[in-house]
């Protein structure tokens, strides 16, 4: 048999063919495999294909042989990612606000290569890049890479931080000065990406939206905040911070009717301790970064939930409610 022009790539092309064109529901006969190789200008004999299959198995690619009537079929069994896992990855990419529409489509096209072309068609029915709010900052990928570099090298970073103005333009915060902080972690919360860092100017832990950071530079100075982050619990930080808004951390006691317990388990986890106060009510004590966003969450739960203590937070909520109601009383009076 004459050798094809791409003969040295036979094993590579055979792996590609079996990966793309076979799965648990789709197989190829030996003649079909040889025909597929010819498309890549590769010639082969059956015996050499059998040897290649053995080599594939040494690389962790299992080839299943099945007899159906007079014909023998071959397909790949099991993959690095199962179809359900790839669907999950695609859902994550679609829901992430910090990934642009353009990058979402590019990432999804790459993720689809983990499955066969037949399974990819199933995924195509699932993929809908809809009108979800997405960042317009294409540099997010590189921002994340720079932040990881700084963390791995134990270095501070500097960057400019932006916010939206009424004209829907990103404008520099604080007159365009560079923020200099010590990055320690990255957190995905409420569909956005945040950098958790120590600001030694204010001597406190802060967080920043990665898609609002620009012109990042990894510095030469070593990071500060080692002691503050020694026992830092990312999960607790996320649970205590509503909408990732800053606030003074306080132990807050919340009373609720028992049928509302699922709301608090969903928010604070199954390890949350409930204390029964009567037949129909219970309390829990949690660390909260007290902010208007936290009060808004409490309002949304209705009359079945009540902040019991500390007194300062109860008074703050009372004043916040008064101002909120007064505003609408004034509006009603103007109508």
Question: What tens digit of pLDDT does each residue of 179-213 get?
Answer: 999 999 888 776 678 899 999 888 888 889 888 89
Do the Cβ atoms of 28 and 123 come closer than 8 Å? no
Whether 73 and 89 map to the same domain: the answer is: no
pLDDT band at 330 (very low <50, low <70, confident <90, very high): low
Whether 226 and 253 map to the same domain: the answer is: no
Question: Within a domain: residue 236?
Answer: no
Q: Region 115-136: what's the mean pLDDT?
A: 63
Question: What tens digit of pLDDT does each residue of 261-288 get?
Answer: 878 886 777 778 889 998 889 999 988 8
Q: Region 62-82: what's the mean pLDDT?
A: 86
The yes-or-no verdict on residue 89 having pLDDT over 70 is: yes
DSSP 26: B
Mean per-residue pLDDT of the chain: 83
pLDDT value of residue 155: 95
**161 closest CA partner among 134, 179, 135:** 179
pLDDT value of residue 129: 47
pLDDT band at 137 (very low <50, low <70, confident <90, very high): low
Which CATH number does the domain housing residue 26 bear?
A: 1.10.10.10
Please state, in angstroms and as integers, the Cα–Cα distance from residue 125 to each residue in 13, 26, 79, 119, 202, following that order.
28, 19, 21, 10, 50
Whether 122 and 88 map to the same domain: the answer is: yes
What does the alpha-carbon distance between residue 44 and residue 313 come to, in Å, rounded to a whole number?
Answer: 77
What does the alpha-carbon distance between residue 271 and residue 78 come to, in Å, rounded to a whole number?
Answer: 36
**Domain range spanning residue 88?**
83-126
The yes-or-no verdict on residue 133 having pLDDT over 60 is: no
Question: Within a domain: residue 72?
Answer: yes
Q: What string of DSSP letters covers 43-111?
A: ---HHHHHHHHHHHHHTT-EEEEEEETTEEEEEEE--SS-HHHHHHHHHHHHH-TTS-HHHHHHHHHHH
Whether 67 and 31 map to the same domain: the answer is: yes
Whether 190 and 259 map to the same domain: the answer is: no
Phi first, then psi: give them for residue 232, nearest 5 degrees: -70, 130
Question: What tens digit of pLDDT does each residue of 277-325 get?
Answer: 988 899 999 888 888 888 888 888 888 999 999 999 999 988 888 888 8
Please state, in angstroms and as integers, the Cα–Cα distance from residue 146 to each residue in 24, 116, 172, 213, 234, following that order.
41, 34, 20, 11, 20
The yes-or-no verdict on residue 333 having pLDDT over 60 is: no
CA 9 to chain centroid, in Å, comes to 37
Whether 42 and 70 map to the same domain: the answer is: yes
**2 closest CA partner among 41, 39, 33, 40:** 41
Whether 93 and 144 map to the same domain: the answer is: no
């Amino acid at each position: 048999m004459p050798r094809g022009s791409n003969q040295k790539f036979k094993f590579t092309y055979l792996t590609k063919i079996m990966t793309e064109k076979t799965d648990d529901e789709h197989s190829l006969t030996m003649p079909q495999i040889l025909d597929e190789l010819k498309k890549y200008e590769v010639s082969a004999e059956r015996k050499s294909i059998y040897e290649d299959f053995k080599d594939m198995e040494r690389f962790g690619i299992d080839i299943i042989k099945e007899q159906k009537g007079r014909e023998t079929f071959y397909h790949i069994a099991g993959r690095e990612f199962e179809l359900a896992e790839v669907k999950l990855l695609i859902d994550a990419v679609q829901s992430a606000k910090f990934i642009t529409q353009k990058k979402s489509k590019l990432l999804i096209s790459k993720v689809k290569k983990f499955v066969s072309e037949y399974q990819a068609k199933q995924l195509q029915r699932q993929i809908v890049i809809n009108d979800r709010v997405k960042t317009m900052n294409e540099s997010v990928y590189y921002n994340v890479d720079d932040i990881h570099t700084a963390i791995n090298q134990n270095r501070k970073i500097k960057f400019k931080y932006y916010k939206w103005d009424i004209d829907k333009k990103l404008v520099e915060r604080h007159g365009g000065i560079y923020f200099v902080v010590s990055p320690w972690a990255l957190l995905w919360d409420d569909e956005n990406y945040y950098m958790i860092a120590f600001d030694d100017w204010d001597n406190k832990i802060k967080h920043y939206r990665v898609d609002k950071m620009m012109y990042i530079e990894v510095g030469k100075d070593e990071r500060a905040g080692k002691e503050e982050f020694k026992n830092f619990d990312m999960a607790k930080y996320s649970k205590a911070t509503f909408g990732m808004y800053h606030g003074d951390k306080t132990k807050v006691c919340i009373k609720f009717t028992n049928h509302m317990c699922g709301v608090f388990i969903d928010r604070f986890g199954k390890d949350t301790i409930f204390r029964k106060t009567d037949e129909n009510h219970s309390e829990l004590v949690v660390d909260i970064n007290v902010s208007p966003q936290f009060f808004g969450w409490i309002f949304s739960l209705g009359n079945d939930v009540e902040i019991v203590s500390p007194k300062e937070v109860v008074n703050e909520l009372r004043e916040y409610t008064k101002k909120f109601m007064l505003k609408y009383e004034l509006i009603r009076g103007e109508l």
